[in-house]
């Protein structure tokens, strides 16, 4: 008999199974490659679209009149899970945000707006620069409608939007070595709620220039952040997002801290230029706008000077000047007037005087027992306090028979001591 060579049925089945597996792998790989390429193309298209819409927003005064009003059916895009999640993260009123969307066909985008890259229809809010694709691109089981969903970040902005981010700045003195600069109410674009802050001290408490580099905070979410610093003086602040969006530089002068030289707490005008408070001093003839760094703005020393009294006789009086401040409800407004401007009496705004925290003792008092009894008191000693502590300028902690308060006559009981800013 002649032996014929060949393969067995089992071997043939194994070969067929292996070929099927390889074919399946090839098909899966091919489909995955196609989907990846399609997604990459869609991402690139969205990035170019974002750049072009940003330009239209800046350059076209009639941008809000472009496109077509959305039909009720088209408005259902706002109920799509992926779109709803992105829009809900935007700042501003949601209904107003949605009302400013228009419908743009790919032909309109190419022919009217000259955006040649458009390969699909879009819903676009030009005012807020938000773009939604009418049809999603599916990739790795996720439906992508917006650039904000994509791994490469929020959006692609080619222009620097300096000045379109706004914020408020204030501060609070925690103690002599800790001051909180509070940045709040950050507003700007609606694309992100993630920010960073640049800050540096530009002048020390004596008004001398500093050459410090910028400090940069970590990225944070929300519209407020607290920076902790140790020294008073003038600081510059900027709020920014990835160098694409940033605020104008804002200055804040920090005072209200114990002044070692003058042995009192420095007057505090608060943040944002004191919210309208202007430091003023008497120059002998008129009131004058001064700088909070002016060494003559206030002086609470115990030194005596000789003056001529009303009777024409020489008299020794304390060489003291109070820290006066004026509201912007008169002729002159904070931020709009130069230092050195004289202010006539009829031009004055509401006037305030800043009094440092102090302690005082009463050595004689009588509590009223009935309506006929009067109460007498005699303040025998006053001592300024350091910061928010009960430590006096003499270096001694105020004893129990001292009252620490913001007004001299506050409490008739000398054994009841209180402490306030």
Q: What is the pLDDT of residue 101?
A: 94
Distance CA 413, CA 42 (A): 78
Tell me if 418 is assigned to some domain: no
Looking at the structure, do residues 400 and 348 belong to the same domain, yes or no? no
Looking at the structure, do residues 330 and 377 belong to the same domain, yes or no? no
Looking at the structure, do residues 27 and 117 belong to the same domain, yes or no? yes
Q: What average pLDDT score do residues 273-284 get? A: 74
Which residues have a Cβ under 8 Å from the Cβ of 285 and sit 6 or more positions away?
Answer: none
Tell me if 69 is assigned to some domain: yes
Other beta carbons less than 10 A from residue 157's beta carbon:
19
Q: Given a cut of 60, is residue 75 above it in pLDDT?
A: yes
Which of 21-35, 141-155, 315-329: highest mean pLDDT?
315-329
Looking at the structure, do residues 343 and 382 belong to the same domain, yes or no? no
Note whether 400 and 379 are within 8 A (CB).
no
Q: Given a cut of 90, is residue 291 above it in pLDDT?
A: no
Looking at the structure, do residues 165 and 230 belong to the same domain, yes or no? yes
Looking at the structure, do residues 167 and 54 belong to the same domain, yes or no? no
Range of the structural domain that residue 291 is part of: 264-354
Regarding predicted confidence, which is higher, 27 or 226? 226
Regarding predicted confidence, which is higher, 297 or 61? 297
Looking at the structure, do residues 165 and 238 belong to the same domain, yes or no? yes
Render the burial of 355-366: b for 16+ CB within 10 Å, e for the rest: bbbbbbbbeeee
Regarding predicted confidence, which is higher, 11 or 7? 11
Tell me if 12 is assigned to some domain: no
Domain tally for the chain?
4
Q: What average pLDDT score do residues 69-73 get? A: 93
Final residue before a domain boundary, out of 199, 229, 254: 254
Final residue before a domain boundary, out of 254, 278, 298: 254
Looking at the structure, do residues 63 and 115 belong to the same domain, yes or no? yes
Q: What is the pLDDT of residue 67?
A: 92
pLDDT averaged over every residue in the chain:
75
Q: What is the pLDDT of residue 402?
A: 62
pTM: 0.37
Each residue of 203-218: pLDDT tens digit?
A: 665 556 666 678 999 9
User: Can you give the CATH number for the domain in which 174 is found?
Assistant: 2.60.40.10
DSSP states of 154-201: S----S-EEEEEEEEEEEEEEETTEEEEEEEEEE--SS--EEEEEEEE
Question: Of 103, 296, 292, 82, nearest to 207 (Cα)?
Answer: 292
Each residue of 23-38: pLDDT tens digit?
A: 665 555 444 555 677 8
Final residue before a domain boundary, out of 149, 184, 204: 149
Q: What is the pLDDT of residue 408?
A: 32
Looking at the structure, do residues 330 and 376 belong to the same domain, yes or no? no
Question: Of 343, 353, 377, nearest to 277 (Cα)?
Answer: 353
Tell me if 43 is assigned to some domain: yes
User: How many percent of the chain have pLDDT more than 90?
Assistant: 14
């Amino acid at each position: 008999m002649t032996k014929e060579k060949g393969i067995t049925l089992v071997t043939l089945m194994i070969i067929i199974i292996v070929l099927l597996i390889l074919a399946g792998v090839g098909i899966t790989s091919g489909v995955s490659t196609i989907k990846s390429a399609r997604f990459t193309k869609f991402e690139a298209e969205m990035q170019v679209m974002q750049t072009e819409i940003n330009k239209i927003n800046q350059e076209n005064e009639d941008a809000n009149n472009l496109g077509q009003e959305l039909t009720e059916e088209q408005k259902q895009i706002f109920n799509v899970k992926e779109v709803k999640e992105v829009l809900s993260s935007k700042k501003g009123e949601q209904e107003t945000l949605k009302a400013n969307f228009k419908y743009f066909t790919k032909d309109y985008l190419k022919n009217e707006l000259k955006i040649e890259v458009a390969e699909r229809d879009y819903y676009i809010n030009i005012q807020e620069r938000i773009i939604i694709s009418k049809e999603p691109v599916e990739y790795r089981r996720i439906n992508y409608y917006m650039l904000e969903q994509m791994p490469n970040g929020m959006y692609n902005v080619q222009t620097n939007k300096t000045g379109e981010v706004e914020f408020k700045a204030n501060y609070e003195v925690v103690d002599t070595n800790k001051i909180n600069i509070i940045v709040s109410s950050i507003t700007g674009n609606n694309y992100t709620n993630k920010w960073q802050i640049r800050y540096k001290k530009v002048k020390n408490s004596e008004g001398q220039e500093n050459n410090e580099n910028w400090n940069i905070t970590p990225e944070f979410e929300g519209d407020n952040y607290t920076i902790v610093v140790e020294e008073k003086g003038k600081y510059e602040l900027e709020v920014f997002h990835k160098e694409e969006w940033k605020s104008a530089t804002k200055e804040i002068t920090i005072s209200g801290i114990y002044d070692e030289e003058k042995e009192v707490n420095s007057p505090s005008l608060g943040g944002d230029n004191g919210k309208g408070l202007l430091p003023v001093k008497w120059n002998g003839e008129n009131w004058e706008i001064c700088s909070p760094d002016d060494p003559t703005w206030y002086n609470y020393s115990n030194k005596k000077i000789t003056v001529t009294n009303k009777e024409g006789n020489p008299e020794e009086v304390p060489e003291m000047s109070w820290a006066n401040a004026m509201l912007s409800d008169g002729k002159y407004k904070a931020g709009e007037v130069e230092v050195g401007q004289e202010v006539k009496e009829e031009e004055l705004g509401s006037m305030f005087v800043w009094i440092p925290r102090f302690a005082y003792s009463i050595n004689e008092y009588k509590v009223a027992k009935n309506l006929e009894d009067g109460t007498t008191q005699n303040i025998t000693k006053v001592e300024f306090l350091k910061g928010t502590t009960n430590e006096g300028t003499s270096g001694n902690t105020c004893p129990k028979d001292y009252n620490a308060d913001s007004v001299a006559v506050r409490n008739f009981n000398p054994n009841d001591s209180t402490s306030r800013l």
